[in-house]
Structure 1
């Protein structure tokens, strides 16, 4: 069983996708029929294997229907972040050279800036909008029959763009039939998380991000049920767990923080006993937060470290993490982790360096489209099949990986390397802090100084008093040179719905004289 047609034949009325808030359901028969109709429409419009389909769609009931239409047509599938501005979204759609675009009608303001693009197909879910035909009406005119040939498509994802224009992460099409699918991913997700046809997975994070998309696509290829949340709400997530009884959930650390900050009565009343695997990644998880989740939900918390480039990963379960707090685990099957210095020399256990993945199979090879210099920068100087995401960390004697920070954000103050993550992990423990970012800003004497920016649990808190309190809190837990020189309070931290912190954008507000940082300092 490898894709919706197989499951539609075996259990046609089984829910493939459920929207948690409304209860709307898409069965496997409906998913299969809808994806075949759209595939027929795209083929009739002239799209052929290797062409591109872009989507500007949130966690919509029919997101995976559109996805599988691309996969069974040999197309590249590019999801566009729905929080982008019109000009940002236009850059992605133009850069990926999309021939077809599907949008949500609620995003008509952004879609309006894309309506004049030279596209063969423009469709709008939930009703027509200017420049886009109604999706339901358009696909209804095509048969629910497979194309004569169904080559397997592929993802063409974009990096978050936190360090400039987003980069297109590309791979060659495999030449497989869609029924063969991504066998390596199915094997991996079954071995790591016991995903099977009976799996029910809660996915609050947006499907336009790499991890939720890959995870949910793999589950639907195996025949499980996906429960989507249109947007994350901590109390709503607990309600969805109680109502839909998921065995799996895919969350990010910021969601953990918001769950833990719920009142004691709400947490005590929650029934999370159905959960067997709660998988998280996307950003570092503070040790106190992870320990709190394990104490509350039990040893069901599983962490992965990977990137949108899908060039390798590490895995760790609750038991292992409690024995090695702060670790992101050991290399997943078929993968080896190397830690190297700036010259590419492997480092001994306990010594920080750049993290490289070495993986089996040509399917893991990636490039940044039209960015040869950036692609080259991901390759090891002596081993071109070893690739890096730009993160820094070290291995212990047993092969467990510990992340220090990204090379981009390491603070060098007075010649000393300072990890922002270490400071962030301390500050997030203070009950007034809902979210935090730490980075370096220029300093005439030391080169860089440590800056902390926080979002408060209670927006009405006194920023000046809080800032002073947090510096004092840090002094009792960090070496003197790691204590933030200043602490600013802002209304909301710039994060994507998937929990990705746009730290570069935040830091840039402190570097541009024309864009003075807002907040209160102490």
Structure 2
């Protein structure tokens, strides 16, 4: 593991990054020069070390160069989702105390970007046709491409995806030392997944998310070639693996589901033989989906469990998973503990709150109450998930704590119901959550996205209930099932479950 600057010297003409849809590519020497140009442009805006900028930009050269530029002049850079509402974009810009917000015309909040309350942040646009905002392109093209004066290491500031409430910020202490020193987080990714200069990495997801940002950074600084998708498309991803000989890739389970639903003829059209590490995380993967992917691609799937907070992690290989199906692995960072609601540790096999014991420094930005809520009496931290350990120390996630249904005093975990529903070929996706019930407190509601428009109606609903009754017992049968043609989603395809649930609670 080295740094981009190292590879700009020793392999200057090798392709570092190729943007799949546009075909735009940067060699390592070009990427180095353009990262310097972005850094110098930011300095000319008056930004100083440990200052903060917000970047609300789709997967594009602009986003990558701005992030790399911020990394070499000691800035914090917030990677904001392009799907943020205007309200959340305004909140994040003000909460992070950013002095500059750079927003693309492709963002959902773009129409309101020129008039939002950003707490005094200077607003700069990319791709806007009018002149309501300053143009980043003007600043960028006017800047020199030499190494900026007094370079220093910067780092990202991330916000949680907000699936259970207002996005929560995580700002870690600034890095010290040389700007081109090896980032231990990149080194850990490279070491864990055998990522090096011979690798070809396929980036399938929005780079404003924590893991895609980290994996692309690791690939660049390992000297690998990266293929970046602007937006996920199942067949296009398969084609890219074959075309570029991709060895590494990053996925979420929804993407696997879409890959598996492609026709067999499409599967057979493309080779995935080059793939050695298909890494996935961000959400639990249903057992039948992961088994089908291993059957198709072989034992190349590698799963991790972690989060924006950086308080701990687990990992599991395909071969381990086949012996511990449904597990997200054993701890690779920190020590796992399962606690009850009173903070008492539970033995293997019992379900409770998942906590990590570690030395990682962590606090939610500007929110001590949320930090306290995520901390056990012992000082251990939680991502907010529920699960159990087996006797070998493998972790099995049951659900998000916020989505547990309490019906008649009994805890019901939606994930296991969703997994059963997803096994039915009539179901493209499923969401299960609790809705009010006068007698029991809550009852189980299932919402189905059908695989075809005709896979709806009372007969299908009753058949799905019967399936749940057969496999899970009467306690876990949805009281009602609705059908919707599409679900609210993040750009990765990950379900925005809180928004869907809120529709029914309203």
TM-score normalised by L of structure 2: 0.95
**Which residue does the alignment assign to 2:446?**
452
More displaced 10-residue stretch of structure 1: 219-228 or 127-136: 127-136
Change (3 A) 1:129 1:219: farther
Matches within 5 A, 1:94-133: 94-107=94-107, 110=110, 112-114=112-114, 117=118, 122-126=123-127, 129-133=130-134
The superposition leaves residues 408-467 of structure 1 with CA deviations (integer Å, 9 ceiling, x where unpaired) of 111121222111111111000000111111111111222211111110111343333322
**Which residue does the alignment assign to 2:352?**
353
Distance 1:462 1:353 in 2: 36
Residue aligned with 1:492, SS: coil
Residue aligned with 1:476, SS: helix
RMSD of equivalent CA atoms: 1.8
Matches within 5 A, 1:163-174: 163-174=164-175
CA contact (8 A) 2:84 2:108 kept: no
CA contact (8 A) 1:90 1:114 kept: no
**Which residue does the alignment assign to 1:365?**
361
CA contact (8 A) 2:58 2:106 kept: no
Distance 1:277 1:11 in 2: 24
Change (3 A) 1:408 1:118: closer
The superposition leaves residues 153-210 of structure 1 with CA deviations (integer Å, 9 ceiling, x where unpaired) of 1111111122222111111112232212422x13321221001122211111100111
Post-superposition offset of 1:245: 1.3
**Which residue does the alignment assign to 1:274?**
274
CA contact (8 A) 2:186 2:215 kept: no
Change (3 A) 1:404 1:125: same
Distance 2:85 2:494 in 1: 17
Change (3 A) 1:46 1:135: closer
Of 426, 429, 439, the residue aligned with 2:433 is: 439
Post-superposition offset of 1:44: 2.3
Distance 1:366 1:53 in 2: 21
**Which residue does the alignment assign to 2:309?**
309
Distance 2:112 2:406 in 1: 45
Distance 1:108 1:344 in 2: 41
Distance 1:95 1:84 in 2: 14
Residue aligned with 1:477, SS: helix
Post-superposition offset of 1:89: 1.6
CA contact (8 A) 1:72 1:150 kept: yes
More displaced 10-residue stretch of structure 1: 129-138 or 220-229: 129-138
Distance 2:122 2:148 in 1: 18
Distance 1:248 1:63 in 2: 22
State whether structure 2 residue 489 is matched by structure 1 residue 495: yes
CA contact (8 A) 1:17 1:61 kept: no
Distance 2:38 2:21 in 1: 26
Post-superposition offset of 1:111: 5.5
Post-superposition offset of 1:119: 6.1
Any stretches of 5+ residues in structure 2 without a counterpart?
none
State whether structure 2 residue 456 is matched by structure 1 residue 462: yes
More displaced 10-residue stretch of structure 1: 138-147 or 415-424: 138-147
Post-superposition offset of 1:340: 1.3
CA contact (8 A) 2:83 2:108 kept: no
Residue aligned with 2:328, SS: strand
CA contact (8 A) 1:282 1:498 kept: no
Distance 1:38 1:139 in 2: 6
CA contact (8 A) 2:114 2:123 kept: no
Of 374, 377, 380, the residue aligned with 2:373 is: 377
Matches within 5 A, 1:132-151: 132-151=133-152
Post-superposition offset of 1:51: 0.7
The superposition leaves residues 267-304 of structure 1 with CA deviations (integer Å, 9 ceiling, x where unpaired) of 12220011000011111111000000000011001111
Change (3 A) 1:18 1:126: farther
Distance 2:435 2:321 in 1: 33
Post-superposition offset of 1:489: 0.5
More displaced 10-residue stretch of structure 1: 300-309 or 15-24: 15-24
CA contact (8 A) 2:56 2:104 kept: yes
Matches within 5 A, 1:474-485: 474-485=468-479
Change (3 A) 1:186 1:487: same
Distance 2:145 2:10 in 1: 17
**Which residue does the alignment assign to 1:412?**
406
CA contact (8 A) 2:95 2:366 kept: no
Change (3 A) 1:480 1:337: same
Post-superposition offset of 1:101: 2.6
More displaced 10-residue stretch of structure 1: 69-78 or 85-94: 85-94
State whether structure 2 residue 246 is matched by structure 1 residue 246: yes
The superposition leaves residues 209-237 of structure 1 with CA deviations (integer Å, 9 ceiling, x where unpaired) of 11101111121122212211111111111
Matches within 5 A, 1:161-310: 161-183=162-184, 185-310=185-310
Matches within 5 A, 1:20-99: 20-99=20-99
The count of aligned residue pairs is: 505
Any stretches of 5+ residues in structure 1 without a counterpart?
513-522
Post-superposition offset of 1:122: 4.4
Change (3 A) 1:353 1:97: same
Post-superposition offset of 1:148: 2.5
Post-superposition offset of 1:17: 1.4
